[in-house]
């Protein structure tokens, strides 16, 4: 029976008998689903202001974690985790995958990111397998480009709060839904024809070309899967929420709106996987600063620039703390705080923006039912891949996986 834990037994005198399908038990034994939200920026965090000087529990909160003080029992900080990549700005996009896109061609899952691996697991259970958003837009090395499919394609983010609100909570007109359904049907029929022709053509190719064609067909099947998932939800009404449509504004004006919409998307089960990208171009003047975010990140140890960068980064951790407030104040389907069933990853693919280092990435994980409240630091001489943490998170999410991308295992002391 759906929802009944198969490990539920009647026990006595050394005998265990599996229970039959009992309706009265099904509602109470079905656990609420796990969720995941990944938040990141492309310029890292000031190491001396992010990492605690002490390990374990009871550590003194550094300046960037001070805004999270009320949640210190809800998160864990990790030191000396990274992906062992280089390239500075050009290595940042590996944050959620561990693999740079130019190195992914020969890998079976390319540089799929942790969010998209989790989204594959969710499948059609929600309207959106994942929601990828960026609080504003940046180009080139100042864009995060955090989310990648198993075909090595970067998932383009939604960059306006009003668009994200409409995507999640505004129903299309009947004519628009019919048009969308027709488009899905046409695309599906085209892909069917392409698949059939490609399979016939495959027989005439040599092995190297067959491998290339197989890669292409894998991409086609991925498109087919996404079309099928979207088609299932065309005529289902979207959830109604108690929130006015947000007005589009600058980064500092919109960050809380994006977090609020992501929290509502999780609460309404519109999605179980979210990404919030913080671009490298923001309105620093609204923070009382003169100069760009990127310029402050290249502080060269100049105290005035480090102070400015600290203001920018504290704005991010303050917003993160309010996001955790929202999740902690929302109830899941089993009346537990939503934060208990939502893993929130915060960090960057840049360890130190001033030195362009991709080592020792700033990593924080909150919620998700883990045992939190400590600072975990790993030996610098015996590198622990960040993908070990991602493997642990994916397992908690429900994905049956031994290693994610470049992982060597899991984080054994994080449970």
386: pLDDT strictly greater than 80: yes
Contacts of 54 (CB under 8 A, 6+ apart): 60, 375
| Mean model confidence pLDDT for the chain | 87
**Which range has the worst mean pLDDT, 18-32, 68-82, 100-114, 202-216?**
18-32
CB 162 within 8 A of CB 245: yes
| DSSP assignments along 341-389, one per residue | GEEEEEEES-SBTTTTB-SS--EEEEETT---SEEEE--TTSPEEHHHH
| Average pLDDT of span 136-163 | 93
Kindly indicate the confidence band of residue 382, based on its pLDDT and cuts at 50, 70 and 90. confident
Judged on CB neighbours under 10 Å (0-12, 13-18, 19+), 364 is buried
Would you list the domain boundaries of the chain?
1-30, 35-169+244-397, 172-236
Name 346's bridge partners: 39, 364
Question: Residue 158 in 3-state DSSP?
Answer: strand
| Average pLDDT of span 392-398 | 97
CB 310 within 8 A of CB 46: yes
Packing angle of the helix pair 251-267, 303-329 (nearest 10 deg):
30
Tens-place pLDDT, residues 239-261 = 999 899 999 999 999 999 999 99
Token readout for 105 is 């061609």
Question: According to CATH, what is the number of the domain 35-169+244-397?
Answer: 3.40.720
| Average pLDDT of span 103-117 | 94
CA distance 140 to 281: 11
Name 364's bridge partners: 77, 346
234: pLDDT strictly greater than 80: no
CA angle 48, 50, 51 (to 5 degrees): 75
Kindly indicate the confidence band of residue 2, based on its pLDDT and cuts at 50, 70 and 90. very low
192: pLDDT strictly greater than 80: no
* DSSP label of 44: B
Token readout for 364 is 């924080």
25: pLDDT strictly greater than 90: no
Q: Which residue has the higher pLDDT, 334 or 57?
A: 57
Exposure string for 65-99, b = 16+ CB within 10 A, e = fewer: bebbeebbebbbbbbbbbbebeebbbbbbbbbbbb
Please name the residue that has the structure tokens 């992010």: 50
CA distance 369 to 146: 24
**Which range has the worst mean pLDDT, 10-14, 19-23, 267-271, 346-350?**
10-14
CB 257 within 8 A of CB 263: no
| Average pLDDT of span 212-216 | 66
321: pLDDT strictly greater than 60: yes
pLDDT of 166: 94
Token readout for 71 is 């949640």
Please name the residue that has the structure tokens 């309207």: 127
Please name the residue that has the structure tokens 């920018």: 312
Q: Which residue has the higher pLDDT, 1 or 160?
A: 160
pLDDT of 182: 47
**Which range has the worst mean pLDDT, 100-104, 112-116, 235-239?**
235-239
φ and ψ at residue 37, rounded to 5 degrees: -130, 130
| Average pLDDT of span 46-63 | 97
Exposure string for 183-204, b = 16+ CB within 10 A, e = fewer: ebeebeeeeeeeeeeeeeeeee
pLDDT of 232: 64
pLDDT of 29: 54
CB 47 within 8 A of CB 351: yes
CA distance 140 to 210: 34
pLDDT of 141: 84
CB 64 within 8 A of CB 50: yes
20: pLDDT strictly greater than 80: no
Q: Which residue has the higher pLDDT, 31 or 258?
A: 258
Judged on CB neighbours under 10 Å (0-12, 13-18, 19+), 328 is middle
| Average pLDDT of span 342-354 | 96
Packing angle of the helix pair 114-122, 386-397 (nearest 10 deg):
10
Alpha carbon of residue 72 to chain centroid: 21
């Amino acid at each position: 029976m759906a929802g009944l834990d198969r490990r539920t037994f009647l026990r006595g005198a050394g005998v265990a008998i599996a229970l039959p399908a009992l309706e009265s038990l099904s509602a109470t034994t079905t656990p609420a689903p796990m969720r995941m939200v990944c938040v990141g920026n492309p310029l890292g965090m000031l190491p001396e202001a992010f990492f605690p000087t002490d390990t374990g529990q009871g550590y003194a909160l550094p300046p960037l974690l001070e805004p999270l003080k009320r949640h210190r029992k809800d998160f864990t900080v990790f030191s000396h985790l990274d992906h062992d990549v280089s390239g500075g700005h050009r290595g940042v996009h590996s944050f959620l995958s561990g693999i740079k896109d130019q190195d992914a061609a020969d890998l079976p899952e390319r540089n799929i990111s942790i969010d998209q691996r989790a989204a594959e697991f969710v499948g059609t259970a929600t309207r959106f397998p994942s929601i990828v958003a960026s609080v504003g837009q940046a180009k080139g090395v100042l864009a995060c480009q955090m989310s990648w499919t198993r075909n090595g394609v970067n998932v383009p983010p939604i960059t306006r709060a009003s668009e994200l609100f409409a995507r999640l909570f505004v129903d299309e007109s009947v004519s628009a839904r019919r048009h969308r359904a027709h488009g899905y049907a046409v695309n599906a029929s085209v892909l069917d024809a392409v698949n059939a022709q490609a399979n016939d053509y495959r027989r005439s190719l040599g092995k190297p070309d067959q491998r290339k064609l197989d890669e292409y067909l894998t991409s086609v099947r991925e498109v087919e899967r996404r079309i099928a998932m979207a088609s299932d939800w065309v005529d289902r009404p979207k959830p109604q929420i108690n929130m006015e449509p947000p007005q589009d504004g600058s980064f500092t004006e919109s960050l809380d709106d994006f977090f609020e919409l992501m929290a509502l998307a999780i609460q309404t089960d519109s999605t179980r996987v979210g990404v919030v990208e913080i671009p490298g171009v923001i309105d620093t003047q609204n923070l009382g600063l003169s100069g760009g975010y990127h310029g402050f990140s290249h502080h060269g140890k100049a105290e005035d620039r480090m102070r400015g960068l600290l203001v920018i980064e504290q704005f991010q951790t303050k917003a993160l703390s309010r996001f955790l407030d929202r999740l902690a104040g929302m109830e899941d389907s089993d009346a537990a705080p939503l934060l208990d069933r939502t893993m929130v990853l915060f960090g960057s693919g840049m360890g130190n923006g001033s030195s362009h280092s991709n080592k020792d990435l700033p990593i924080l994980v909150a919620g998700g039912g883990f045992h939190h409240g400590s600072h975990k630091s790993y030996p610098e001489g015996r590198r622990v891949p960040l993908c070990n943490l991602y493997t642990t998170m994916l397992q908690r999410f429900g994905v049956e996986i031994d290693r994610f991308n470049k992982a060597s295992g899991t984080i054994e002391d994080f449970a």
